[in-house]
Structure 1
Amino acid sequence: MKNLSRLFFAMLLLVSFNANAQDENNPWGISIGVNAVDLYPVGEDAPLGDYLDEFFNLSDHYNILPSLSTVSVSRYLQDGFTLTVAGSINEIDKVGDSSADDLSYYALDGTIKYSLTKLINSNSFDPYIGVGGGYTWVDDIGAGTLNGTLGFNYWFTENVGFNVQTAYKHAFEDYLAKHWQHSVGLTIKFGGKDTDGDGIYDKDDACPDVPGLEAFNGCPDSDNDGIEDSKDDCPNEAGLAEFNGCPDADGDGVADKNDDCPTVAGLKALAGCPDADGDGVADKNDDCPNEKGPAANKGCPWADADGDGVLDKDDKCPNEVGTVANNGCPEVLPTVAVMEKLNNYARTILFDSGKSSFKKETQPVLEAMTAIFKEYPRADFSLEGHTDSQGAKSSNQLLSERRANAVRDYLIANGISADRLTASGFGEDYPIDNNKTAAGRKNNRRVEVKLKK
């Protein structure tokens, strides 16, 4: 018994505390230990005793081989059931109250065990019951046995535990006595799959292919901000939970990814940018950041009453629409250069052949002409249509009139007063180039703009 005590004291030195029962994560288990055979409390006549009589009388009834004498291998099945195959050896020198002549004892047993851990809700104490059978030899005589088992594992770590078990072995032959066999030993479980090596088995790992943390069921937190990557809008930057893991460098309550001014504290209403004068225009867009002004005026206090793009402070005609070039005052009459520009545009107006409808590519030309007309609201213009000499003269006359009126109609439709515009056609009467060449005829097909004095 002294040697047995020393053996188990050495086992205890190998382990430290914390644990779990054998399950699908660690399906395999190996146990080694010492067994004791007791033939006394089996309900037989003297020299044996009644069932469970003197069950713990180690010194008088237990046959113990004080060395490694039992080995078992276990495989977890499912739902708390485990299959165990065990082999054991011993020497029988006590049969109840009588002595024996050191008979050799060998046993090979298989047991189906059921864990009761879930019933008691324990992470370390793992009791079980079992039933099985085996074959036992005493010297050269052997017989089959039906076994009932009761025991427990106490798991010191996730994979290492202490095992205590007792089994009643009922022999099927009279020449082999029924008996009790007890064992104590060390159990090691293994075989759990952990693909990413993060210490969390694949079965319980929500991210089995990526190393992660136990707190997040095996999923990673790359920036270590306490928010797992799958729920982190900024997984590579440490941030705050209120912003789903994104940082707020300037502490203004707007996450950097949504902050137009991430290094300067600002207002949520202005996407994190400051507004020094409190006029509702962010400083970065405010031409007068220290003076209040309307957003339409880029944050400056000066107005543009006539809406001509020249601020009242710079507008010499603040109540009359003008041009920037004329300091906000309207241009009374276009210059020679402006008229030349208008006619350069007019000569590039393209009509469908023989018609007064515009070709698609003429649209930008008409828009540019309209803009110039609007700059001179007090000037009146005449639009004159001309053709080449091909075709009947009467037809050319009508075509030139229709084309001149088509330009006038476009300008009126786009905001030019009808009173300022007249249209007339001159057919083929006033060529500006030779009608005998294609290039000359092209130049003769034109619209001209004249300023009415």
Structure 2
Amino acid sequence: MIRNTSLLLVFIALFAGSLNVSAQDENNPWYISIGVNAVDTYPVGDDNRPLTGGFLNEMYNVDDHWNILPSISTLYVGRYIGSGFSFGVRGSLNKIEKLGDAPANDLAYYSLDGMFSYSFRDVLFEQGSWFDPYLGLGGGYTFVGDQPSFGTANGTIGLKIWLSDAINLNLSTTYKHAFEDRYTKHMQHTAGIGFSFGGTDTDGDGIYDDKDECPDTPGLKEFNGCPDTDGDGIKDSEDECPDVAGLPEYNGCPDTDGDGIPDNKDACPDVAGPAETNGCPDADGDGVIDSEDECPNEAGPAENDGCPYEDQDNDGVLDKDDECPTVPGTVANNGCPEVTVEILEEINVQVRTVLFDLNKATIRAESYEALNAVAETMNEYPNTRFLIEGHTDSQGSDAYNLKLSDERAASVKDYLIKQGLPATRLSSEGFGESKPVATNATAAGRQQNRRVEISLIE
């Protein structure tokens, strides 16, 4: 029977350990203990009574004096009041086979006791210690054999040994004092397994709601019940990267590439780079990250995709600013070549040979070759605008000469446009007889005055 009782107590311990409970306190106000009890009358008598040994004499002489019922025989239910105090009720049953040194005829024993107790654990030891001594005072009613029931005043000394946060081994000794000699004063010893319960733990993390800063989310004790999902030692509420383990200096975020920029602020978290480019590498230091730089090893502006601007004609004017990127020119002329005095004179040598039909603006065919050469030369200066001037001698009226010179200048302009010169680069104007280069008194002089010339438009 004793072996069966021990097995049952072990089963109860295992069952209680599977519950989410902790030591009896304001979180878990309820406590239950189940176990066995022993009744002993010997240590409470005096020397004038031969069946007793005097107060506390041989109190733990189990073989000679204790009455033990080999089964579960004690049930205690208590509630925590506060500040270490609890109140509980204990019911016991037993069979009395000896009263001190005298045999008894298997007297039935029943008791029901109430007790206020005080735990010294948190006063004498570290909070949560496994060693939990307590004292109790109370009273109750006892029934022994055929005696009428009688009241007792009880004093208890006990010890709870916490086997885990859930379970304790509860050992106690209670002196039960009956105020009339005809009733039985006695000691009652108990041993049981107890556990507390009744606290609210909504998220089931073992931390009760009144102490849980995150009562709806399972968490850890070190964070007062709040979670640390990534296990980096920084609770989620303070972790900027709660799902990825990181470092305290980056508020819980990692720095995968070790560039001093946490991943959540790093545009290139797997490749080290400077802060000025948000953690992305910039090999040539031009401010354009390598992944967007078409020339990652050669510095260039962002507007040119990180590549340097070319100067194809090596004239000192970058292609982006060069209106003639394939022809060497001057900075003053936006990278285009400028017509020199010598070139302009070569053009005019050619254009002065142009012949027209008599009193007409029609260009003679033999002048085409000269005009083609002029067009070719002009094309070499794509940023230059030209003025085609028509001139006559003094023969004829001024009005007629002005009209004829204007038409002949326009005729040359039209021919050059047909050779591919943009019309925006050419203008024409007739000056009649107003700008002679020689005397009109001789045939040779008049011949020189009948001409077409080309000048530059600034």
2:262 equivalent to 1:255: yes
The 1:327/1:10 distance shift into structure 2, 3 A limit, reads same
1:32 to 31, 34, 37: 34
Per-residue deviation, 1:187: 1.4
- Indicate the residue corresponding to 1:432 in structure 2: none
1:135 to 135, 141, 160: 141
- Cα pair 2:22 2:197 within 8 Å, conserved: no
- Cα pair 2:12 2:193 within 8 Å, conserved: no
Matched position secondary structure for 1:181: strand
The 1:5/1:124 distance shift into structure 2, 3 A limit, reads farther
Deviation digits for residues 306-347 of structure 1 (CA, Å, limit 9, x no counterpart): 999737995978755x8xxx66999xxxxxxxxxxxxxxxxx
1:56 to 24, 38, 60: 60
In 1, Cα distance between equivalents of 2:117 and 2:322: 93
1:310 to 306, 318, 321: 321
- Cα pair 1:32 1:185 within 8 Å, conserved: yes
2:123 equivalent to 1:109: no
Q: Which amino acid aligns with 1:58?
A: V
- Cα pair 1:40 1:61 within 8 Å, conserved: yes
The 1:261/1:328 distance shift into structure 2, 3 A limit, reads farther
Per-residue deviation, 1:169: 1.0
- Indicate the residue corresponding to 1:405 in structure 2: none
Q: Any unmatched runs of 5+ in structure 1? A: 331-452
2:161 equivalent to 1:161: no
In 1, Cα distance between equivalents of 2:202 and 2:337: 79
Per-residue deviation, 1:302: 6.1
Matched position secondary structure for 2:2: helix
1:384-395 → structure 2 map (5 Å cutoff): none
1:152 to 134, 159, 183: 159
Matched position secondary structure for 2:152: strand
In 2, Cα distance between equivalents of 1:313 and 1:297: 19
1:9-28 → structure 2 map (5 Å cutoff): 10-12=8-10, 15=13, 21-28=23-30
In 2, Cα distance between equivalents of 1:318 and 1:105: 124
* Cα RMSD (Å): 3.7
Matched position secondary structure for 1:141: coil
Per-residue deviation, 1:219: 1.5
The 1:85/1:278 distance shift into structure 2, 3 A limit, reads same
* Percent of aligned positions that are identical: 53
* Equivalenced residues, count: 325
- Cα pair 1:259 1:272 within 8 Å, conserved: yes
1:286-305 → structure 2 map (5 Å cutoff): 288-292=295-299
Say which one has the larger Rg: 2
In 1, Cα distance between equivalents of 2:78 and 2:102: 36
Q: Any unmatched runs of 5+ in structure 2? A: 339-457
- Indicate the residue corresponding to 2:5 in structure 1: 7
- Indicate the residue corresponding to 1:120 in structure 2: 125
Q: Which moved further from structure 2: 56-65 or 271-280?
A: 271-280
Q: Which amino acid aligns with 1:37?
A: V
In 2, Cα distance between equivalents of 1:328 and 1:127: 104
The 1:40/1:5 distance shift into structure 2, 3 A limit, reads farther
1:231 to 232, 238, 245: 238
- Indicate the residue corresponding to 1:440 in structure 2: none
2:74 equivalent to 1:74: no
In 2, Cα distance between equivalents of 1:313 and 1:83: 103
1:156-235 → structure 2 map (5 Å cutoff): 156-235=163-242
- Indicate the residue corresponding to 1:425 in structure 2: none
Per-residue deviation, 1:303: 11
